[in-house]
Chain A
Amino acid sequence: MILAIAWRNIWRSRTRSLVILIALTLGLASGIFYMAFYKGMLDQRINSAIKTEASHIQIHNKQYLENPDKKLMINNSDSIVKLIQNEEAVEAVSSRTIINSMIQSATTGSGVKITGISPEKEAAVTNLHSKLIEGDYFETSRRNPIVIGKKLAEKLKVKLKSKVVITLQDFNGNITGAAFKVVGIYETSNTIYDETTVFVQASDLNRLLAIDNNSCHEIAVLLRQNEALSTVQADLTSQLPKLDVKTWREIMPEVSLLESSFGLTMYIFIGIILLALLFGIVNTMLMAVLERTKELGMLMAVGMNRIRIFTMIMTETILLSILGGLCGIILGWLLNIYLGIHGIDLGAWSTAYKSMGFDTLVYTRLNWSITLQIAVLVFGTGLLAAIYPAIKALRLKPVEAIRIDM
Chain B
Amino acid sequence: MKVIEVKQLKKIYNTTEVKVNALNGVDLEFEQGEFAAIVGPSGSGKTTLLNMLGGLDQPSDGEIRIGGTNIQTLSSSQLIDFRLRNIGFVFQAYNLIPVLTALENVEFIMQLQQVPKKERQQRARELLDRVGLGERINSRPAKLSGGQQQRVAVARALASKPKFVLADEPTANLDSKSTENLLDMMEELNRQENITFIFSTHDQRVVNKARRVITLEDGQIISDVRKEQETRTN
Contact = CB atoms under 8 A, between A and B. Distances in A.
Q: Tell me which of B89, B92, B107 has the highest count of chain A C-beta atoms within 10 A of its own C-beta.
A: B89
A304 B98 contact: no
B146 to A, nearest CB: 15
A5 B99 contact: yes
Contact of B97 (A5, A303, A308, A405): A5
Contacts of A4: 100, 104
A300 interface: yes
A303 B114 CA distance: 12
Contacts of A305: 77, 80-81, 84, 112
A376 B194 CA distance: 56
Interface residues of B, number: 28
A301 B99 contact: no
Contacts of B112: 302-305, 308
A302 B57 contact: no
B115 to A, nearest CB: 12
B3 interface: no
Contact of A303 (B83, B98, B99, B107): B83
B93 A405 contact: yes
Contacts of B160: 302-303
A5 B89 CA distance: 20
Interface in B177-225: none
Given A302-B89, A303-B160, A399 B51 contact: yes
Interface string B106-119: 01110111000000
Contacts of B89: 298, 301-302
Contacts of B65: none
Given A1-B111, A301-B89, A302-B89, A8 B99 contact: yes
A43 B77 CA distance: 57
A348 interface: no
Interface in A277-319: 294-295, 298-306, 308
Main secondary structure of the interface of A (DSSP, over half): helix
A9 B56 CA distance: 26
Contacts of B83: 301-303
A59 B139 CA distance: 79
A302 B98 contact: no
**Residue among A1, A9, A303, A399 with max Cβ neighbours from chain B (10 Å):** A303
A399 B57 contact: yes
B54 interface: yes
A175 interface: no
Contacts of A295: 95, 97-98
A389 interface: no
A72 interface: no
A12 interface: yes
Interface in A1-54: 1, 4-5, 8-9, 12
Contacts of A1: 100, 104, 107-108, 111
B80 A304 contact: yes
A17 to B, nearest CB: 13
B111 A303 contact: no
Given A9-B99, A12-B98, A402-B91, A303 B57 contact: no
Given A12-B98, A12-B99, A303 B93 contact: no
Contacts of A405: 93
- Which residue, of B81, B99, B113, has the highest number of chain A Cβ atoms within 10 A? B99
Nearest to B54: A301
A406 interface: yes
A149 to B, nearest CB: 68
Contact of A5 (B80, B91, B100): B100
Contacts of B54: 301
A398 interface: yes
Interface of B: 51, 54, 56-57, 77, 80-81, 83-85, 89, 91-93, 95, 97-100, 104, 107-109, 111-113, 156, 160
Given A301-B56, A302-B156, 11 more contacts: A5-B97, A8-B100, A9-B99, A294-B95, A295-B97, A295-B98, A298-B89, A298-B95, A300-B80, A302-B160, A402-B95
26 contacts: A1-B100, A5-B97, A5-B99, A8-B99, A8-B100, A12-B98, A295-B95, A295-B97, A295-B98, A298-B89, A298-B91, A300-B80, A301-B89, A302-B89, A302-B160, A303-B85, A304-B80, A304-B84, A304-B112, A305-B77, A305-B84, A306-B77, A306-B80, A399-B56, A399-B57, A406-B93
